[in-house]
Amino acid sequence: MGNKEVKETQLNDRELLAERRQLRKKRRIRNQIMAYVTLVLVFVIVASGGYLTWNYFGSAPEVPPQEEESNSVMQSQVEELIQNEPEISKPEPTVEPEPEPTPEEKLNEIVDAAIGMMPLEDKVAGLFIVTPEAITGVGTAIKAGEGTKTALEANPVGGLVYFEKNIKNSEQLLEMISNTNLYSRYPLFIAIDEEGGSVSRLAKKKLVTNVGTAADIGETGDAANAYTAGETIASYMSHYGFNLNFAPVADINNVKDSFIGDRAYGDDHELVGSMVASAVLGMEDGGVSACLKHFPGIGSTTDDTHKGQAVTYRTADEFREIEFMPFQAGIESGVDFIMISHVAAPELTQNNLEPCVFSKTVVTDILRNELGFTGVVITDAMNMKAISEYYDSAEASIKAIKAGCDMILMPEDYKMAYEAVLQAVKDGTISEERINDSLRRIYRIKYAHMVADLEEEIQSSESAENSESTENTEN
């Protein structure tokens, strides 16, 4: 090969290398250069081998000095290219951004964090809703002062329920509930019975206008009226600081002289179902948790559980086809609470004497698993004679929790009930995880507003930033 040809070859190779360096990624360039070096080395080895062979046989011509010089220059240039080639580092692994947690996930994080910090004693206390008198020891609580503060520090209950005797006037009620919330280290359910009609604690004290009986609303046949009544009740309850209403009644007034009477929307289960669903939406749209009562349905009995044992002989099929329907409608409307009755339903529980509040079949198998209720299950008042005449507060509270109830309402003796449940957890009769399950349901309701407020703050902040950015751009 002549000098001219060698030079042309060198020029072509360098131009080719430059072009490739511009068009390909660093890694591919390095591979090409290495391939080129290998080719040159092979060429050199082959040439050297040929030279030795010819020399061995005595016929190898001498390599012209110009060609030796040309090969040396080529090798030097390739080595220089390799030395000057920037080191190609491995690309950093792509890190996928963490997905933004959903409101549901945010709520779960808040709830789990709250429960995780609670000592066992506070967890157990959080399962009870009691009267203020039960923890303060006063005859009638009409204000919240140092006595209430001390009582809540010693008994961090899940909620307090108020009656007519606790209400004197608007100013007194507002101050009492406001102070009570300030004194509690955990958020409280502040509860009352405000159905309308005869069971209306606030309306009876003339603080609000009575929306009328459920029967009167049901007679209109328009479920929108039930929504309006529920929303109205929620608006004045929220004003005073209440966040839990033990209403609406989901029972059906379907036997003569039914105990439930005009507290039910009527005797037709489909009509009652539509009314119940609308009332739930009205209350919960108004910011108050609704509580359906009295599962599995007490409209078919003439007995009063306030006064003693009550029994209904409805069959399991009748319950499923009729009594359950309003409760199912309320569940589908998103009701937060369902209250379990003390009535005995032997055809449903297969136990003649057992109140439904103690029946795992009723609470867990039917209400939870069959009807799909995921909210808080609360007992009816445990100081009613259907319970208190046959069971002490300790036994009754443990039986209710083991059946699947999340909260105990008004045990006859709160101290006894609390100590019994606490000991049951300590000795393994009830697992702590079982208590945690109930607390998760409870605190999901208590903290639901926190996620909504957080989302609102974020949106407001983003809107303000966008507005400021727009103004700066315009200026």
- pLDDT of amino acid 443: 97
Whether 106 shows a pLDDT value over 60: the answer reads yes
- pLDDT of amino acid 25: 47
Residues 319-377: tens digit of each pLDDT: 999 999 999 999 999 999 999 999 999 999 988 889 999 999 999 999 999 999 999 99
Q: What are phi and psi of 246, to 5 degrees?
A: -80, 70
Whether 447 shows a pLDDT value over 80: the answer reads yes
Q: Over pLDDT 70: what percentage of the chain? A: 75
DSSP-derived 3-state class of residue 469:
helix
Mean pLDDT for the chain? Answer: 85
- pLDDT of amino acid 166: 98
**Ramachandran region, residue 387 (left: φ > 0; alpha: ψ -120 to 50; beta: rest):** alpha
Whether 57 shows a pLDDT value over 50: the answer reads no
Whether 52 shows a pLDDT value over 50: the answer reads no
Average pLDDT over residues 80-102: 67
Distance CA 152, CA 158 (A): 10
Q: Nearest Cα to 217, choosing from 233, 235, 238?
A: 233
Residues 209-268: tens digit of each pLDDT: 999 999 999 999 999 999 999 999 999 999 999 999 999 999 999 999 999 999 999 999
Distance CA 37, CA 366 (A): 80
Whether 5 shows a pLDDT value over 80: the answer reads no
- pLDDT of amino acid 82: 53
Whether 11 shows a pLDDT value over 70: the answer reads no
Whether 292 shows a pLDDT value over 60: the answer reads yes
Distance CA 345, CA 105 (A): 39
Distance CA 17, CA 28 (A): 12
The CATH number of 103-458 is 3.20.20.300
With cut-offs at 50, 70 and 90, classify the pLDDT of residue 58.
very low
Give CA separation, 26 vs 18, 38, 80, 94, in Å.
Answer: 12, 18, 17, 19
Q: In b/e form, how buried is each residue of 409-446, taking b as 16+ CB within 10 angstroms?
A: bbbbbbebbbebbbebbeeeebeeebbeebbebbbbbb
- pLDDT of amino acid 20: 47
With cut-offs at 50, 70 and 90, classify the pLDDT of residue 456.
low
Catalytic residues: 306, 380
Q: Nearest Cα to 342, choosing from 304, 289, 313, 286?
A: 304
- pLDDT of amino acid 32: 47
Whether 72 shows a pLDDT value over 80: the answer reads no
- pLDDT of amino acid 101: 83
- Please compute, for residue 121, the number of CA atoms within 13 A of its CA located in the half-sphere on the CB side: 7
Whether 105 shows a pLDDT value over 80: the answer reads yes
Domain ranges of the chain: 3-84, 103-458
- pLDDT of amino acid 104: 83
Average pLDDT over residues 56-78: 51
At 43, the amino acid letter reads F
- pLDDT of amino acid 91: 65
Cis peptide before 294 (omega within 30 of 0): yes
Asked if residue 237 lies in contact with residue 230, where contact means CB atoms within 8 angstroms, the answer is no
Whether 201 shows a pLDDT value over 90: the answer reads yes
Name the pairing type of β-strands 189-192 and 244-245.
parallel
Q: Best-predicted range by mean pLDDT among 9-18, 84-93, 398-407, 461-470?
A: 398-407
Residues 144-175: tens digit of each pLDDT: 999 999 999 999 999 999 999 999 999 999 99
With cut-offs at 50, 70 and 90, classify the pLDDT of residue 35.
very low
DSSP-derived 3-state class of residue 311:
strand
Q: Within 10 Å of residue 388's Cβ, how many Cβ atoms? A: 18
Cα diameter, the chain: 132
